[in-house]
A and B are shown apart, each in its own frame.
Chain A
């Protein structure tokens, strides 16, 4: 089976599993599935960014652009339908990423991590300081659910919407992955100097991955805002960023299903240990360290095995 077909099956199966889970699960399980679906969009879009070789720490702040776009555009004087505002939020996030890509994509490795972290923090401060627009630290509350839903207050219907958006974005990212541009992005991610030497425009492809990945973050931010009914700077926090990164580290980013499995694992840990929430970040951290160490060990063994069998 080709990687493209496998990825398509992964997202379709995930979307179907969310909907089926929603029909058979309790009210609380519905909420967990909605959060899982929205965070899946975040990790899939984040994986797209990692394929170009950089791990951005501005992803959650960029997600905030989507959230604030929905909060502002769906209320007077704009009064746009929530779904239209959500798509606009994705586009604004992509536009911001395009502007940001000019300075930050000139950095590599630790410097890329630091520059995206700084950019994300600057963006979060903007959400706090431009309080006439963003509501300052209190944020913007009472955001409506999408009017397109027959019963907007139904969590099950919202879950179906999230599953549909997840599948659509999943197909989009899988198509990108399998496309010529996607293959070149991966090549740049693995060896930028070598890719450039054969005429690949590494900077443009890295920017493309960053912009398209940020589009998904903006869409996820819009969904979070309309589901929670509120967006505030405190929601743009290090814990969510850590969860997205940890999902990618634990599951791996080579395959499309990796970050989803990583996220599933983290969510299970979160739910199993919900009676002792103070231990959840520690347990996540332990598994991230194990994943990093085991990943290195496994890669080493694989290289030795390949060398022996070459």
Chain B
């Protein structure tokens, strides 16, 4: 064997060993979201949010576990064909079986969560979402790491009813698909404690294919004469079209949704006209500068990287969801799915990096306390198209006070899986 051959073999071996060592130190995270088509309006900002979260740590050598050892974070996006349950499962198979990821961020859509419940549990891959959607006692690796969809709809509408007694008539505009159905049930649950003084005047789900005729969709909503319209299911662009259509029809009431892409809304309706009328309750909206310095810094990074027009609060939602995983990694000496889960569930509360101490809950709905009930900021738009925090809902307290009224509505909407 000549010198050159030996050098090549030695180099190859060293390279292989180096790669192996690096692979062991790397924490692999998958983001299963729509990466193409119309639904990418949701999926791409979510994926970017997780990527920026990882880059923040990687820039400082990685995330330190409980022993102080640093791990680089590698993020890969997987397409789920616009939240199709079968494609969600296929994406999980790729992520888990081929790419060996340890953590996955996915949609809250109940059907999609049910589709992957078995594979995540079998392979001990800690799978979280920006909310709960579906959890179960048989699936300990399926968790909801923040208060988000769909529970946030319940807390948003209840907060608006509590803080604005003048609201008497509520229209619920949701799409007729799995997460639209979940939203409808949670909106109804949020309204349930207040039905003695407010009524639901519209709750007919719409076919997602009908959104090409927004005026046709808005007209019956307007005819129900609501004081508050809560929606879920429109893409950001469709939301803007809906607001425009309602304004054209003369609507002067309030709007509520998980979130709004105000850049798109204000392209169609002057910001001053809707100031103080559009409410949202994303997990956290980083474009608001006062709630958390850390998420504000995240917003600046996002805007520098992708531009302000590309901003969607969904990016900060994904970022926030990953901070719970981050807390688990930092508390664990074994940053695998199983090790991080053990660290997170070592006690009833988690010191969540953005929201502070938060309790695990959800057993009345899911039969398992696998949902971290973080406080929920509620945002309202200002006259410049920005948002400001109008309240922070103590989610655990509201749930304890009103769960007896809310649970039947959730059950009727098929959202209660607890036996």
> Could you tell me which A residues sit within 8 Å of B by CB distance?
26-28, 30-31, 35, 128, 136-139, 141-142, 153, 224, 228-230, 232, 234-235, 237, 239, 274-275, 277-281
Q: Given A138-B414, A141-B111, A239-B81, are A230 and B86 neighbors across the interface (CB < 8 Å)?
A: yes
Q: Given A137-B181, A277-B36, are A230 and B115 neighbors across the interface (CB < 8 Å)?
A: yes
Nearest CB in chain B: distance from A237 CB, A: 6
Nearest CB in chain A: distance from B83 CB, A: 7
CA distance A280 to B260 in the complex (A): 30
Closest to A274 in B: B94
Which residues on the B side are within 8 Å of A35 (C-beta)? Answer: 90
CA distance A80 to B93 in the complex (A): 28
CA distance A35 to B93 in the complex (A): 11
**B:65-104 near A, CB below 8 Å:** 76, 78-79, 81-87, 89-90, 93-94, 97-98
Closest to A153 in B: B122
CA distance A229 to B110 in the complex (A): 14
CA distance A31 to B94 in the complex (A): 9
Which residues on the A side are within 8 Å of B176 (C-beta)? Answer: 128, 137
Which residues on the A side are within 8 Å of B328 (C-beta)? Answer: none
With A138-B110, A138-B414 given, can you name 18 additional A-B contacts, CB distance below 8 Å?
A27-B97, A27-B98, A137-B177, A137-B178, A138-B178, A141-B111, A228-B89, A229-B115, A229-B118, A230-B114, A232-B84, A232-B85, A232-B111, A234-B85, A235-B86, A277-B35, A277-B79, A280-B36
- B40, B98, B111: which has the most chain A beta carbons within 10 Å? B111
Query: Count the A-B residue pairs with Cβ separation under 8 angstroms: how many?
Result: 86
Closest to A129 in B: B176
Nearest CB in chain B: distance from A7 CB, A: 29
Closest to A277 in B: B79
CA distance A150 to B65 in the complex (A): 41
Which residues on the B side are within 8 Å of A30 (C-beta)? Answer: 97
CA distance A81 to B235 in the complex (A): 42
- A26, A139, A232, A234: which has the most chain B beta carbons within 10 Å? A234
Closest to A34 in B: B93
Q: Assess whether B180 is interfacial by the CB under 8 Å rule.
A: yes
Which residues on the A side are within 8 Å of B115 (C-beta)? Answer: 141, 228-230
Which residues on the A side are within 8 Å of B40 (C-beta)? Answer: 278
Closest to A240 in B: B86
Q: Given A138-B111, A234-B178, A237-B84, are A277 and B97 neighbors across the interface (CB < 8 Å)?
A: no
The reply to whether B84 and A31 contact each other, CB–CB distance below 8 Å, is: no
Q: Given A138-B110, A230-B86, A277-B36, are A237 and B81 neighbors across the interface (CB < 8 Å)?
A: yes
Nearest CB in chain B: distance from A210 CB, A: 25
CA distance A31 to B93 in the complex (A): 7
Which residues on the A side are within 8 Å of B117 (C-beta)? Answer: 142
Q: Which 10 A-B pairs have the closest CB atoms?
A: A278-B36, A28-B98, A277-B79, A141-B114, A28-B97, A235-B86, A27-B97, A234-B84, A137-B177, A31-B93
Nearest CB in chain A: distance from B344 CB, A: 25
* Sampled A-B contacts (26; CB under 8 Å): A26-B98, A28-B93, A28-B94, A136-B181, A136-B414, A137-B178, A138-B110, A139-B85, A139-B178, A142-B117, A224-B86, A228-B85, A230-B85, A230-B86, A230-B89, A230-B114, A230-B115, A232-B111, A234-B85, A234-B111, A235-B84, A275-B76, A277-B36, A277-B78, A278-B35, A278-B40
CA distance A30 to B93 in the complex (A): 10
CA distance A108 to B79 in the complex (A): 37
Which residues on the B side are within 8 Å of A28 (C-beta)? Answer: 93-94, 97-98
